[in-house]
Amino acid sequence: MNTNRRTFLQLASGSALALTGGNFLQSCMNSMNMGDMSDVVIGSETGLSLRLPPVWNGGAISAGSVNLDVQNTTIQAWAMGGSVLAPTIRLRKGTAFSAQLQNQLSTETNIHWHGLTVPANMDGHPKDVAQAGGSFAYNFPVLDRAGTYWYHPHPHKNTARQTYMGMAGLFIVEDPAEAALGLPSDEFDVPLVLQDKRFQQVKRFVYAPSMADVMTGFLGDTVFVNGVPVPYLDVENGAYRFRILNGATARVMKLGFENGMAFHVIGTDGGLIDAAERVTSVMLSPGERVEILVDFSSVAINGSVLFKTLDFTLPAAPASSTPHGSTSGMTMSNYKQGVAMPIMRFNVKRQTSRQTAIPTTLTPITRLNTAEATKTRTFALNMEMMSFEGGTSPHGSTSGGEMMRHTINGKLFAMERVDEKIAFGATELWEFQNKGDEPHPMHVHGTQFQVLSRSSGTLTAVDKGWKDTVLVNPGETVHVILRFDKYRGLYLVHCHNLEHEDDGMMLNFEVA
């Protein structure tokens, strides 16, 4: 690892790269044969029971340090509301939400209400923070339909670290249309927040991305579920609703069961889809949610089934689309996307007394009309050589220079610069064009959107509902339609690979 990292730093700062670009770099990396995960031990099942986050009690939300007890080891983490995960906020649509963030950290923080449509000054833009020791009052009406939303910090260049250290929680909205469906509820409605961490060697939460990690994202070796590494849950042999959030900073997951059993996708980022869709796996990128119904009736009493992220290969970008050459060969970290990892085990312990019925229709999605779109915007997602100033690199560099940076339309984030101006009330078509060969989960603040098409083929189950985050694979173009008719002000569009975000892969847009 250290050798790899040192080699990369030399290459990136030396003249060879500047002279010949990425093709030279790629051939160097290919010849170094760094494509395996031989040094990485994947976290296995721990025998720890799944924990459920506490329920928010309506009070202030503190941000501060806490001690977690994991496998008889005390781990220092950062928490919101005193807990990892943070308390689940559960409110009905139409409710007025109000909570004060009290920052007990020694650094600034704030809260982004991921997926919720809130006023711009409540949205957790990095300019709107609670300083160390300070506070920030959040107040907004809950406008969005029933769904599984979430909250996490969004401070400038520090979103990944704070989220990794434990600051994240769910914000569940309920409404009458969803309640009328009679989906599994109470103990049969279970949130699963998935976050991978580098845990096997250190048994602590250490967020220390190398430059290579900034390129790919800080990929871990162990999946934590609701803050517990590879836990188990005892279930009955009936239907469960799982609200799954990929809360990792960077790892794309292909969720499925080890025995290949089918399950139903019922919802995405912005609540339920029109009709349940039967699948045996589903891709979920950082920031995205999927709601699934799982019927354990095919598993014998006292049997069990392992839930995993399955192995997969990312599509490759066409070489012509990467001006600095493919980067697939220069992934210096031994940590890889697409590696199979256990998530949690379900032990079937009891006979259910409930009827298991998968509803055929769920809640209708009102489709936005492309004929009403007044503008098409393109967002080119790239990695290019950029100069940076001394001390500003998120990778700990202290001297300035040139390095590869993740950009949108050739730009790095600037706090005050308005990159796109949008007319209030407008319906628009946005095209996310991935010019590189890393996956970019693209997240839009301030509205929910609908996915229209993928250049690589048909839409998947998680593309079919209301969305705030969409996976854009290497070489792929994804078209979405959005409408900006709730609030005016400054919002963000960014990659939800949080290392990419902190590296500057983010733009401001103003609705006016």
Interface contacts to Cu ion, rule CB under 5 A = 440, 495, 497, 500
Q: How distant, in Å, are the alpha carbons of 12, 86, 133, 497, 506 from that of 129?
A: 34, 19, 11, 21, 18
Residue 119 to residue 88: CA distance in whole angstroms: 21
Q: How distant, in Å, are the alpha carbons of 259, 267, 275, 462, 466 from that of 364?
A: 32, 11, 8, 15, 11
CB count within 10 Å of CB 507 equals: 21
| Nearer residue to Cu ion within complex by CB, 62 or 158 | 158
| Nearer residue to Cu ion within complex by CB, 88 or 469 | 469
In angstroms, give the least distance from the CB of 495 to Cu ion.
3
Place of tokens 């709601």: 291
User: Strand order in 135-141's β-sheet?
Assistant: 73-80, 61-70, 96-103, 135-141
| Nearer residue to Cu ion within complex by CB, 129 or 408 | 408
| Nearer residue to Cu ion within complex by CB, 162 or 337 | 337
| Nearer residue to Cu ion within complex by CB, 192 or 444 | 444
Per the rule left: phi > 0, alpha: psi between -120 and 50, beta: everything else, 274 is: alpha
CB count within 10 Å of CB 38 equals: 7
In angstroms, give the least distance from the CB of 472 to Cu ion.
8
Place of tokens 């300083």: 131
In angstroms, give the least distance from the CB of 118 to Cu ion.
24
| Nearer residue to Cu ion within complex by CB, 405 or 464 | 405
* φ and ψ of 492, to 5 deg: -120, 150
| Nearer residue to Cu ion within complex by CB, 217 or 342 | 217
In angstroms, give the least distance from the CB of 406 to Cu ion.
6
In angstroms, give the least distance from the CB of 471 to Cu ion.
10
| Nearer residue to Cu ion within complex by CB, 264 or 435 | 435
Dump the DSSP string for 398-450.
-S-EEEEEEEETTB---SS---EEE-TT-EEEEEEEE-SSS-EEEEESSS-EE
| Nearer residue to Cu ion within complex by CB, 142 or 412 | 412
* Token couple for 56: 């928010």
Q: Are 406 and 505 in contact (CB under 8 A)?
A: yes
In angstroms, give the least distance from the CB of 217 to Cu ion.
8
Spell out the residues 6+ positions from residue 86 whose beta carbon is closer than 8 angstroms to its own: 53, 61, 79, 80, 151, 167, 168, 169
In angstroms, give the least distance from the CB of 429 to Cu ion.
21
Q: How distant, in Å, are the alpha carbons of 59, 128, 365 from that of 487?
A: 26, 17, 21
* Token couple for 445: 């603040």
In angstroms, give the least distance from the CB of 222 to Cu ion.
22
In angstroms, give the least distance from the CB of 97 to Cu ion.
30
